[in-house]
Chain A
């Protein structure tokens, strides 16, 4: 049987994995302090910031993509800044895709971590303080290791969710082969071109991948009793 994946498909797969890995790395760095702040603060900003973080979960990806496209465009506020810095316009680039993915997957990174920090309670940190640990020291030596299942869940969900995104990528990336064309948009392209055999292979691969991720998550949850968002 003829193996149907052509070079374009492999490019799309590689780009998808690269995007998902980058988004996960960026989000773990950004979302950890954000989740910690949300889990600890008694500030009045907690509710609005929390809602803002959750917004990408309910907003249609096309809405999010549209605003990002406008913002990153040559006349948008973000575009003005990036041009002033000499980085050019980010829409229709990998960096643009990455920014979109990070915002789109933010709730999937923040919520498991926030849950993990909240379920830990205040006690472990208090114990650390009474054992001479400064707040920063206690965060890295106690809070972060205790929240590890939440961090792992966040990483897996972020990765999987970025792999599966479509609308934002289409809006910001424009589906340029080898540059911004990922698996989900590649499938769309195949379908439009009536190349159903190719679409089947990629779509089937996505189903298998997504199933494997969810299976891994539920096994992890069984092992450590972690709650999904």
Chain B
């Protein structure tokens, strides 16, 4: 994909502990998650896009706007780039009230419809009751929501978020995630979102870029990248796939809902989501087991017919990751190599996947 619509990044920057060297074409809408361990260069990459860091060799183009092209001597300073930046810590201006924090960028962006944009951001993030407070009298989650609204109020072409939830405890994270999902669904603004949380990847990512030691390990649609088993994007207990489906049926007797996705359907806990609504399902590799034939005498309710597409080594030598194709969808399963040997499964074999647990994440 190389369009003039999307985000084009080519960055080279030497640091003491690593070398950032990326060449990326990113989609013009949705959330692109930059994922990787700490020290992989995620934050440096984001700071280069914002112009807070200047790479020796760089190209940053957002749609038709060129922000940095070292080869042609173009370098637009940060304050002239049409972007919003949300830092890890909320970084509100302590000398200003919440309202004045929100108005700070708005006053300077000189765009039409600015006050409507602010009103919308305030409503979107539910901070209307905080406007007259001092920043010191906000909880961590409130501070971060104000910081996000402050960035949104300038109606940027691109929103950059550097681990906006990392400084918050688990409860506060779960307070903010729905707001971020709402932003993704209601705004057409593209976002670059840094995280090292697999949960946030599963919930938010449309596009996923995996970074390691300053270079790109994988970049593509989140569903595809998560379904890779050779050098998987997410290793360990969090390995798994995300499926997009639709609620087809709600069973009021057992409090379950059936979600259909391309290639099958799964029973999940009924969270009150209306029939017809689209949802994301997260299925972890550790929750999948394989049988050669369909088994009825098991407590596991979800069985999917599929075929083995690939088998690869997992992190531990006793285990393997298997890639299972179910219609148009892909599942990842983690099973022991001994089980593979005992069942005599090979690539191409038809099998049944038993799904022990599914999380509805949207």
How far is the CB of B76 from the nearest CB of chain A, in Å?
12
C-alpha spacing A148/B108, complex, angstroms:
23
B154 interfacial by beta-carbon distance below 8 Å:
yes
B84 interfacial by beta-carbon distance below 8 Å:
yes
- Are A131 and B105 neighbours in the complex by a CB distance under 8 Å? yes
- Are A129 and B52 neighbours in the complex by a CB distance under 8 Å? yes
How far is the CB of A134 from the nearest CB of chain B, in Å?
5
Question: Which of the segments A18-26, A48-56, A72-80, A120-128 contacts the partner chain?
Answer: A120-128
- Are B84 and A128 neighbours in the complex by a CB distance under 8 Å? no
B17 interfacial by beta-carbon distance below 8 Å:
no
- Are A142 and B83 neighbours in the complex by a CB distance under 8 Å? no
- Are A123 and B91 neighbours in the complex by a CB distance under 8 Å? yes
Which residue from B80, B87, B95 sits with its C-beta under 8 Å from A127?
Answer: B87
Q: Mark B210-247, 1 if CB is under 8 A from A, else 0.
A: 00000000000000000000000000000000000000
Which residue from B84, B93, B94 sits with its C-beta under 8 Å from A130?
Answer: B84
Given contacts A123-B87, A129-B52, is CB(A134)–CB(B79) below 8 Å?
yes
Given contacts A129-B78, A130-B151, is CB(A124)–CB(B93) below 8 Å?
yes
Instruction: Give the contacts of B15-74 with A (CB-CB under 8 A).
Output: 50-52
- Are B93 and A137 neighbours in the complex by a CB distance under 8 Å? no
Instruction: Give the contacts of A119-152 with B (CB-CB under 8 A).
Output: 123-124, 126-135, 137-138, 141-142, 145-146, 148
- Are A130 and B95 neighbours in the complex by a CB distance under 8 Å? no
Which residue from A123, A124, A130, A137 sits with its C-beta under 8 Å from B78?
Answer: A130
- Are A142 and B50 neighbours in the complex by a CB distance under 8 Å? no
Given contacts A145-B95, A146-B93, A146-B95, is CB(A130)–CB(B85) below 8 Å?
yes
C-alpha spacing A142/B85, complex, angstroms:
17
C-alpha spacing A137/B77, complex, angstroms:
14
C-alpha spacing A134/B51, complex, angstroms:
13
C-alpha spacing A227/B13, complex, angstroms:
37
| Chain A hits for B265, CB < 8 A | none
Q: Mark B99-123, 1 if CB is under 8 A from A, else 0.
A: 0000011001100000000000000
Interface residues on B, range: 20 to 34
A122 to chain B: closest residue by CB: B52
- Are A148 and B79 neighbours in the complex by a CB distance under 8 Å? no
- Are A132 and B154 neighbours in the complex by a CB distance under 8 Å? yes
B150 interfacial by beta-carbon distance below 8 Å:
yes
- Are B95 and A137 neighbours in the complex by a CB distance under 8 Å? no
C-alpha spacing A117/B93, complex, angstroms:
14
C-alpha spacing A13/B60, complex, angstroms:
64
| Chain A hits for B105, CB < 8 A | 130-133
B111 to chain A: closest residue by CB: A132
| Chain B hits for A131, CB < 8 A | 79, 104-105, 108-109, 150-151, 154
Given contacts A131-B154, A133-B108, is CB(A126)–CB(B79) below 8 Å?
no
- Are A137 and B108 neighbours in the complex by a CB distance under 8 Å? yes
| Chain B hits for A137, CB < 8 A | 79, 108
How far is the CB of B65 from the nearest CB of chain A, in Å?
15
- Are A127 and B93 neighbours in the complex by a CB distance under 8 Å? yes
- Are A130 and B104 neighbours in the complex by a CB distance under 8 Å? no
| Chain B hits for A133, CB < 8 A | 79, 104-105, 108
B105 to chain A: closest residue by CB: A131
C-alpha spacing A128/B79, complex, angstroms:
8
Which residue from A124, A134, A145, A148 sits with its C-beta under 8 Å from B91?
Answer: A124
| Chain B hits for A126, CB < 8 A | 52, 78, 85, 87
C-alpha spacing A138/B212, complex, angstroms:
35
How far is the CB of B304 from the nearest CB of chain A, in Å?
46
| Chain A hits for B93, CB < 8 A | 124, 127-128, 142, 146
C-alpha spacing A146/B96, complex, angstroms:
10
| Chain B hits for A130, CB < 8 A | 50, 52, 78-79, 83-85, 105, 151
C-alpha spacing A137/B104, complex, angstroms:
11
C-alpha spacing A142/B91, complex, angstroms:
12
C-alpha spacing A141/B104, complex, angstroms:
9
A142 to chain B: closest residue by CB: B93
| Chain B hits for A134, CB < 8 A | 79
| Chain A hits for B84, CB < 8 A | 130
| Chain B hits for A138, CB < 8 A | 79
Q: Mark A95-130, 1 if CB is under 8 A from B, else 0.
A: 000000000000000000000000000011011111
B108 to chain A: closest residue by CB: A132
B92 to chain A: closest residue by CB: A127
C-alpha spacing A135/B51, complex, angstroms:
13
Given contacts A133-B104, A138-B79, 4 further A-B contacts (CB under 8 A): A132-B108, A135-B79, A137-B108, A145-B95
9 interchain residue pairs of minimum CB distance: A131-B105, A132-B108, A130-B85, A129-B78, A145-B95, A129-B79, A127-B91, A132-B109, A132-B79
Residues of B whose CB lies within 8 Å of any CB of A are 50-52, 77-80, 83-85, 87, 89, 91, 93-95, 104-105, 108-109, 150-151, 154
Q: List 14 A-B contacts (CB under 8 A).
A: A123-B87, A123-B89, A126-B52, A128-B79, A128-B93, A129-B51, A129-B77, A131-B109, A132-B80, A132-B105, A133-B108, A135-B79, A138-B79, A141-B104
